[in-house]
A and B are shown apart, each in its own frame.
Chain A
């Protein structure tokens, strides 16, 4: 019972401080879920993000569903998912009811410009951490560089990158190395 409540409350808190979308949530996930609680590893987190990018829905929500399901099955998935969206429900509800032009306030615009700077730093830190678990040899280093550059300069669906990289991984690990090796 305690774990159910913890799943909801951890993801609720995460939803309340995640400014700037799913990527900004990554450093908080690494801290709360990987470092502090050991609910999953950094590698699993990278897997969840990859899957989240090529399945329907929002990455932050998908990752919550994954971790909840891993820990406590369907009930855990529901608790973590509704935990992460509950703060939006409360905050947007209040804004819709009270503040008509919330985003037009000067203080809101200025504060957000400051938040964006911090989010850029947080994503940088998160990527450095992920590199340690995802780039393990020359081939994975090439994949990282190629996808990073192509994704930045081209407007291509992430699904395509994930599919090609997955096929490349299977080819490298299973086909090229021979049938006997695992």
Chain B
């Protein structure tokens, strides 16, 4: 029964992949090997597609695999499979937090967790910035460190930053559109 199997495989991935979209990758590789639904190469392709379309990789892979193995009903089964574990877990935690909102231990824990969470997001942001603003493959040593700087990308970042500070009401999606158009017009990937 392909539908149940799709649901169950992606349910397990959703249950055990902790820490965001990329954490699903090892589970997807393993699933592909075991079931033969997709190859490692297709996972890499899907990673590229996920980076160029909205939506998390885990969700996209579930929809893609479900579709290629059993059409639209298949992709629905895989999608419901991958989101159900997190819905269950988060609803339980949310209910717990609602009950213990005024508890001093819970408050103390979050007092410490909040800056840690911001630190994790900042670290992820630095990784994204390095990938977007530098050409690390052009590195020629410290004496010529500027060769890694992608000046066009840095200029775009400066313009987008200035626009986002000047017009604070502007929707982020509009800025993303600016980035897409500028990237396509000026061939940012060199493709």
Contacts and interface: CB of A to CB of B under 8 A. Distances in A.
Interface string B83-104: 1011101110111011000001
13 contacts: A22-B21, A61-B87, A77-B87, A78-B87, A97-B67, A106-B189, A113-B132, A113-B189, A126-B125, A143-B119, A162-B120, A168-B112, A174-B104
Contacts of A161: 116, 119-120
Chain B: interface residue count, which band?
A: 35 or more
Interface string A84-125: 010111011101110001110011111111111111111111
Interface in A123-165: 123-127, 130-131, 133-136, 139-141, 143-149, 151-152, 157-159, 161-162, 164-165
Given A17-B172, A110-B189, A144-B115, A96 B63 contact: yes
Contacts of B116: 50, 143-144, 147, 161-162, 164-166
Given A58-B56, A62-B90, A174-B104, A130 B175 contact: no
A60 B50 CA distance: 14
B51 A174 contact: no
Interface residues of A, number: 109
Contact of B112 (A57, A69, A170): A170
Which secondary structure dominates where chain A touches chain B? helix
Nearest to A175: B108
Given A23-B121, A182-B104, 15 more contacts: A18-B54, A23-B125, A53-B117, A58-B56, A88-B55, A96-B67, A101-B45, A110-B187, A111-B188, A112-B51, A121-B157, A125-B161, A126-B125, A165-B115, A170-B105
B120 A147 contact: yes
Contacts of A58: 20-21, 24, 56, 58-59, 86
Interface of B: 14-22, 24, 45, 48-49, 51-60, 63-64, 67-68, 72, 75-76, 79, 83, 85-87, 89-91, 93-95, 97-98, 104-105, 107-129, 131-133, 153, 156-157, 160-161, 164, 171-173, 175-176, 178-184, 186-191
B120 A151 contact: yes
Interface of A: 15-23, 26-28, 31, 43, 46-47, 49-62, 65-66, 69-70, 74, 77-78, 81-82, 85, 87-89, 91-93, 95-97, 101-103, 106-127, 130-131, 133-136, 139-141, 143-149, 151-152, 157-159, 161-162, 164-174, 182
A106 B176 CA distance: 18
Given A96-B64, A165-B115, A124 B125 contact: yes
- Which 8 A/B pairs are nearest by Cβ-Cβ distance? A114-B183, A169-B112, A57-B86, A88-B55, A147-B119, A173-B108, A118-B179, A165-B116
Contacts of B176: 17, 19, 115, 118-119, 122
Contacts of B98: 70
A28 to B, nearest CB: 5
A57 B90 contact: yes
A125 B179 CA distance: 16
Given A112-B183, A117-B179, A50 B93 contact: no
A101 B116 CA distance: 39
Among B64, B76, B87, B160, residue most surrounded by chain A Cβ atoms (within 10 Å) = B87
Nearest to A129: B118
Contact of A109 (B127, B128, B189): B189
A60 B56 contact: yes
Contact of B105 (A61, A117, A174): A174
